[in-house]
Chains A and B, each alone.
Chain A
Amino acid sequence: DVKVTQSSRYLVKRTGEKVFLECVQDMDHENMFWYRQDPGLGLRLIYFSYDVKMKEKGDIPEGYSVSREKKERFSLILESASTNQTSMYLCASSRWQGAETQYFGPGTRLLVL
């Protein structure tokens, strides 16, 4: 069974704080992704990574950065949290080849006050 875990299910932070969201997958997947999900907007890609230390910007990278030092771990960083970053954050992973089905973690609901 593919397992994608995220460090927190719920998180409350204050404006201006640095926030780390961590994601770990145990299936040796090459690709990892960070999305945010807002009502009526579906899922929007923030960043993805196709290999260790490799990253590509998604559709909404502003205000975020990422880190992938190990294949199994992909971190999303909010350098200075703002209230408009209150959202649901979903991490996903997939293989490089084949059907490339994405498997998701349970999500982190972040509230920035």
Chain B
Amino acid sequence: AQKITQTQPGMFVQEKEAVTLDCTYDTSDQSYGLFWYKQPSSGEMIFLIYQGSYDEQNATEGRYSLNFQKARKSANLVISASQLGDSAMYFCAMREGPGTYKYIFGTGTRLKVLA
């Protein structure tokens, strides 16, 4: 069954340093999409980055990059040069296949950036 696993319930990182948030997934589909969202304390889910299963290059969006290792079924989020405003919950999500509406979410990782 499709599943997203985030094994780090909480993490700390020093301001200006890089941090990696782990995400592994399980699917039998060949076509799928992987997403990362940020949820600040205000509650809104903010889309950060997307990686398609057929994309050969890792996705990047500003300070966010997705370390996609298809054989290992991992899609880790890397945040470079952490800022205090990066403190939030981070969710990894997956959508299977072009004809599926459903998205599967992990349980999230709470990141705290230290000054």
Contact = CB atoms under 8 A, between A and B. Distances in A.
**A-B complex is real:** yes
Given A42-B107, A42-B108, A88 B43 contact: yes
B2 to A, nearest CB: 12
A45 B102 contact: yes
A62 B89 CA distance: 27
Given A40-B107, A42-B108, A101 B101 contact: no
Interface stretch (B18-26, B45-53, B66-74): B45-53
A106 B47 contact: no
B103 interface: yes
Instruction: With a 10 A CB-CB cut-off, give which of A33, A42, A48 has the most chain B CB atoms.
Output: A42
A55 to B, nearest CB: 11
A24 B103 CA distance: 20
B107 A100 contact: no
Interface range for A = 20 to 34
A103 B101 contact: no
Contact of B101 (A31, A40, A105): A31
A88 B52 CA distance: 29
A100 B105 CA distance: 15
Instruction: With a 10 A CB-CB cut-off, give which of B43, B95, B106 has the most chain A CB atoms.
Output: B43
